[in-house]
C-alpha cells in the first residue's frame, strides 16, 4: 500500500489548506524524495495566497521574460506552490545512476511531504539545469532552502553587469537583497550601499560587509547622500529588491543604471535613467 503524501495548497484567495494524495510507484528515470524542510518565499507566496500574483491575470512569456497583456491567466485556484524544497532521496527508479538513496538534495518543488521527479524533466524555473541538485556535504538542510533565492539574486547581478570598482546600491535587505549585497561584492563592486528600514536587517547588512547602510525612514535624503559619497556621480548600479514603490523611486533618483528584481515576475530587468 502506498503511503499518503501531505501537501499545502491555496484553495482560494487567503485560504491555505493541507491536502493529501496517495503516493505512487516510480518510472525508470524518477526519484522519490522525502522532504526534510521547505522554505517560504514570503513576498512571492503572499502574492499567491492573497490572489495578487500577476499569474492570475496574464500569461508569462519565458522567452521575452515578461507577462503578456490581453492573454489568458497562467494559473487559477486551487494551486500548490513553493520552490524551496530540501529532502533526502528515499528511492530511485531502475534507470537512475546519478543519485543513490540517502543523498540530501535541493529541488524547486512545493510544500509537500514527498516529491517524485523525473531527472530528465525541465521547466521555466530551471532552464537546462537538472531538476535535482545535490546539497553540498556539511550544509544544513535549513540553509539549503536559500539556494533557489540565490539563483534569483545571481540572475539580477548578471543583468546589472557590474564592472570592477563600480558603486552599487541595494534597496531592500530581505533575503534576496542580502544575497545581492554579497554577490555584488564578489563581482568586484568598489562600494555597496544598502537601504533598509528594518533595524535587524540593517545590522545583518552591515555584518555582511555593506559599505554603508541607510535607514529610509530617518529623514535622510538618500539620493543626495549617495551623490555626496560618489563625488556627485551617483551609484553606477542600483538594485531594487524591496518590492515597494518608494524603493523604485529612490532607486531611480540615486543612479544612472538600475537592475530590478520583481517579486511578482521573478525576473530581473535593466533600465537606464
Q: Is residue 70 very low, low, confident or very high in pLDDT (cuts 50, 70, 90)?
A: confident
> Quick one: CA torsion of 44, 50, 52, 56, rounded to 10 degrees?
90
**Is 149 within 8 Å of 41 (Cβ atoms)?**
yes
Of 200, 33, 190, residue with least CA distance to 115: 33
Q: What is the pLDDT of residue 263?
A: 41
pLDDT (average), residues 67-87: 89
* Res 250 pLDDT > 60: no
Q: What is the pLDDT of residue 49?
A: 96
pLDDT (average), residues 57-73: 81
* Res 145 pLDDT > 80: yes
* Res 247 pLDDT > 60: no
Identify which has the larger pLDDT, 125 or 220.
220
Q: What is the pLDDT of residue 19?
A: 97
**What residues contact residue 218 under an 8 Å CB cut-off, 6+ apart?**
none
**Is 201 within 8 Å of 194 (Cβ atoms)?**
no
* Res 203 pLDDT > 80: yes
- In the block, cell 494559473 appears at 75
Q: What is the pLDDT of residue 272?
A: 33
Average pLDDT, the chain: 89
Residue 273 in 3-state DSSP?
A: coil
Residue 173 in 3-state DSSP?
A: coil
Q: Is residue 246 very low, low, confident or very high in pLDDT (cuts 50, 70, 90)?
A: low
pLDDT (average), residues 193-209: 98
Angstrom distance (rounded) from CA 190 to CA 127: 32
pLDDT tens string 165-198: 999 999 999 999 999 999 999 999 999 999 999 9
Domains of the chain from N-terminus onward: 4-145 (3.90.180.10), 148-272 (3.40.50.720)
What one-character-per-residue DSSP string does 193-247 give? EEE-S-HHHHHHHHHTT-SEEE-TTSS--HHHHHHHHTTT--BSEEEE-S-SHHH
Q: What is the pLDDT of residue 194?
A: 98
pLDDT tens string 16-45: 999 999 999 999 999 999 999 999 998 889
Amino acid at each position: 500500500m502506498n503511503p499518503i503524501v501531505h501537501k499545502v495548497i491555496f484553495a482560494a484567495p487567503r485560504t491555505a489548506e493541507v491536502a493529501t494524495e496517495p503516493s505512487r510507484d516510480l518510472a525508470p528515470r524518477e526519484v522519490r524524495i522525502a522532504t526534510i524542510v521547505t522554505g517560504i518565499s514570503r513576498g512571492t507566496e503572499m502574492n499567491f495566497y492573497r490572489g495578487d500574483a500577476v499569474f492570475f491575470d496574464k500569461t508569462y512569456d519565458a522567452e521575452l521574460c515578461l507577462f503578456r497583456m490581453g492573454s489568458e491567466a497562467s494559473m487559477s485556484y486551487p494551486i500548490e506552490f513553493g520552490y524551496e524544497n530540501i529532502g533526502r532521496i528515499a528511492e530511485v527508479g531502475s534507470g537512475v545512476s546519478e543519485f543513490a538513496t540517502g543523498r540530501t538534495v535541493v529541488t524547486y518543488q512545493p510544500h509537500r511531504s514527498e516529491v517524485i521527479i523525473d531527472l530528465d524533466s525541465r521547466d521555466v524555473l530551471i532552464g537546462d539545469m537538472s531538476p535535482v541538485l545535490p546539497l553540498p556535504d556539511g550544509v544544513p538542510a535549513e540553509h539549503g532552502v536559500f539556494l533557489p533565492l540565490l539563483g534569483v539574486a545571481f540572475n539580477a547581478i548578471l543583468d546589472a553587469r557590474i564592472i570592477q570598482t563600480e558603486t552599487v546600491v541595494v534597496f531592500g535587505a530581505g533575503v534576496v537583497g542580502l544575497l545581492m549585497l554579497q554577490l555584488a561584492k564578489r563581482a568586484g563592486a568598489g562600494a555597496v550601499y544598502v537601504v533598509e528600514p528594518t533595524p535587524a536587517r540593517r545590522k545583518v547588512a552591515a555584518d555582511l560587509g555593506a559599505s554603508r547602510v541607510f535607514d529610509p525612514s530617518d529623514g535622510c535624503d538618500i539620493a543626495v547622500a549617495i551623490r555626496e559619497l560618489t563625488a556627485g556621480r551617483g551609484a553606477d548600479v542600483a538594485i531594487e529588491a524591496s518590492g515597494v514603490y518608494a524603493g523604485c523611486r529612490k532607486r531611480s533618483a540615486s543612479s544612472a543604471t538600475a537592475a530590478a528584481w520583481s517579486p511578482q515576475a521573478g525576473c530581473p530587468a535593466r533600465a537606464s535613467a
